[in-house]
C-alpha cells in the first residue's frame, strides 16, 4: 500500500475541509477503498475517515424517506420503513455481497463502488479507467462479465452495484455537501457514461460528500421485485439484474419502473420498456413486449452476447414476480 495521511474527521465540515485537496479520498466502510488501496489500484494521498459522522439515520422525509450516507447496507435491509415502503431496495441490497460485507458497507460507499472488471484490478495490463490513456484490455480480452449498454471504445466495464439498480428504478435523489454548499442530484444524473473518460464515473467534485439519499414517495411498493442472475448465490456480481415496479389499477398498468444491472456501464433505466407497459394488462405477453423494447442498440461482444437474451428474460421474470405470478 502506498503511504497516505489518515484523518479521522470529527464532523461533516471537518471531513469536507480535509478532503478538498487533490488526491484525498473519503473512507466509509472500506470494503471497496481498502481493497483497492492494497492492490495499489487506488492511491489516495489522504484518507478521510467518515466513521464519526452522524449520517446514519433512516427516517421519514416529507412523503418519502431519507437515508444517511453512513447507514450500513444491513441497516437498510432491516429497517421497517424500507421494508414497508421500498421492498425493492431491501431486496436489491440483500442480493449484494454477504452479511459480513453488508454490515461494513455504507450507502454512500455503495453508490461509489468501483467496477469489478478484472483488468482494472491488474496493474500489469492497460486500463483506461485506472490509467487514463493507457488502453482498454477488455476490448480484445475476455468479456463475459462486461457491459452491452452504455459502452464506448474506451471502456466496457459494468457498474457493479445492486443497490443502485433499485435506486435508479425508485428515482432516488443524492444529497451532497461541499464547502458551505449543498446539492441535490437526480439519480439519473449521478453516474456518468464512460465516453472518452472512463476514469470519471460520477458528477461529484473533489471533496464533495454524499450526505443522504432521498427516496420520493412510491406507488410501487405492492408490486415490485429485484431479480439478480449470477454464477453463484453469494459473493457474485450480477450477470444481469432487473429492478421493476408496477402500479396497476382496474386491470391495467398505469405506471412502471424498470432498471437494469450487470449489463450496463452505469445503473440503467429502460424508459422504452416502461412506456410499453402503460395501459396494458399485467400479463406474460405485455411483459415480453416490454422486455423486447428494453435494450436499445446493445453492443454485445464475443463472450457476452448471451446477455441480450438474459437481460430480457430477467426483466420478464422480475415483472412476473412483481405481479405475483411464479
Ligand atoms: C467480497 C465482496 C463482494 C461484494 N459483492 C457485491 C455485490 O454482489 N453487489 C454489490 O452491489 N456490491 C458488492 N460488493 C461491493 C460493496 O457493496 C461495496 O464495496 C460497498 O458498498 C462500498 O461501501 P463502503 O462503505 O465499504 O465504501 P468505501 O470502500 O469506504 O468507499 C468506496 C468509495 O466511496 C467513496 N465514499 C464513501 N462514502 C462516501 C460519501 N459519503 N461521500 C462521498 N464519497 C464516499 C470513497 O471515497 C471510495 O471512493 C462486494 C464487496 C466485497 C468486498
Ligand atoms: S473495460 Fe474499462 S475498466 Fe475494464 S480494462 Fe477496459 S477501461 Fe479498464
Look at the block and give the residue holding cell 503511504: 3
Which residue has a Cα nearest atom 31 of ligand 1?
109
Given phi > 0 = left and psi -120 to 50 = alpha, else beta, which region is 23? left
Reduce the DSSP state of residue 80 to 3 states and report it. helix
Q: Is 177 in the pocket of ligand 2 (CB under 6 A)?
A: no
Reduce the DSSP state of residue 150 to 3 states and report it. coil
Q: Is 31 in the pocket of ligand 1 (CB under 6 A)?
A: yes
Which residue has a Cα nearest atom 13 of ligand 1?
97
Q: Is 147 in the pocket of ligand 2 (CB under 6 A)?
A: no
pLDDT given for residue 233 in this prediction: 85
List, in order, residues 6 or more apart from 264 with CB less than 8 Å away. Answer: 147, 148, 149, 150, 158, 159
Structure letter (DSSP) for residue 47: E
Look at the block and give the residue holding cell 396497476: 248
Q: Is 145 in the pocket of ligand 2 (CB under 6 A)?
A: no
**Nearest-atom index, ligand 1, CA of 208:** 43
Please state whether the predicted TM-score (pTM) of the whole model is above 0.95: yes
pLDDT given for residue 309 in this prediction: 98
pLDDT given for residue 234 in this prediction: 81
Q: Could you state, in chain order, the average pLDDT of each consecutive group of 10 residues for the chain (326 residues)? A: 97 97 97 98 98 97 97 98 97 96 98 98 98 98 98 98 98 96 98 98 98 97 96 92 98 98 98 98 98 97 98 98 83
What's phi and psi for 195, nearest 5 deg?
45, -135
Question: Residue 49, class by beta-carbon neighbours within 10 Å (0-12 exposed, 13-18 middle, 19+ buried)?
Answer: middle
Amino acid at each position: 500500500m502506498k503511504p497516505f495521511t489518515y484523518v479521522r474527521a470529527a464532523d461533516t465540515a471537518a471531513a469536507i475541509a480535509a478532503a478538498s485537496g487533490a488526491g484525498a479520498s473519503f473512507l466509509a466502510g472500506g470494503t471497496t477503498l481498502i481493497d483497492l488501496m492494497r492492490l495499489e489500484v487506488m492511491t489516495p494521498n489522504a484518507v478521510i475517515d467518515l466513521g464519526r459522522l452522524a449520517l446514519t439515520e433512516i427516517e421519514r422525509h416529507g412523503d418519502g424517506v431519507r437515508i444517511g450516507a453512513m447507514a450500513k447496507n444491513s441497516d437498510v435491509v432491516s429497517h421497517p420503513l424500507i421494508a414497508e415502503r421500498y421492498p425493492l431496495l431491501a431486496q436489491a441490497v440483500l442480493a449484494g455481497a454477504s452479511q459480513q460485507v453488508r454490515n461494513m458497507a455504507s450507502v454512500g460507499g455503495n453508490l461509489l463502488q468501483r467496477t469489478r472488471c478484472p483488468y482494472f484490478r491488474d496493474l500489469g495490463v492497460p486500463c483506461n479507467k485506472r490509467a487514463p490513456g493507457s488502453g482498454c484490455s477488455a476490448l480484445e480480452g475476455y468479456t463475459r462479465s462486461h457491459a452491452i449498454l452504455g459502452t464506448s471504445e474506451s471502456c466496457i466495464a459494468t457498474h457493479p452495484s445492486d443497490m443502485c439498480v433499485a435506486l435508479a428504478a425508485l428515482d432516488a435523489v443524492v444529497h451532497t455537501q461541499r464547502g458551505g454548499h449543498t446539492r441535490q442530484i437526480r439519480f439519473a444524473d449521478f453516474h456518468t457514461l464512460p465516453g472518452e473518460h472512463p476514469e470519471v464515473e460520477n458528477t461529484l467534485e473533489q471533496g464533495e460528500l454524499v450526505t443522504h439519499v432521498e427516496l420520493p414517495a412510491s406507488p410501487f411498493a405492492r408490486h415490485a421485485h429485484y431479480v439478480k442472475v449470477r454464477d453463484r448465490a453469494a459473493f457474485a456480481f450480477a450477470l444481469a439484474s432487473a429492478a421493476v415496479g408496477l402500479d396497476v389499477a382496474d386491470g391495467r398498468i398505469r405506471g412502471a419502473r424498470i432498471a437494469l444491472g450487470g449489463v450496463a456501464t452505469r445503473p440503467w433505466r429502460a424508459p422504452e420498456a416502461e412506456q410499453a407497459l402503460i395501459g396494458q394488462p399485467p400479463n406474460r405477453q405485455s411483459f415480453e413486449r416490454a422486455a423486447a423494447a428494453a435494450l436499445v442498440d446493445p453492443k454485445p461482444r464475443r463472450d457476452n452476447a448471451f446477455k441480450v437474451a438474459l437481460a430480457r428474460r430477467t426483466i420478464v421474470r422480475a415483472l412476473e414476480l412483481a405481479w405475483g405470478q411464479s
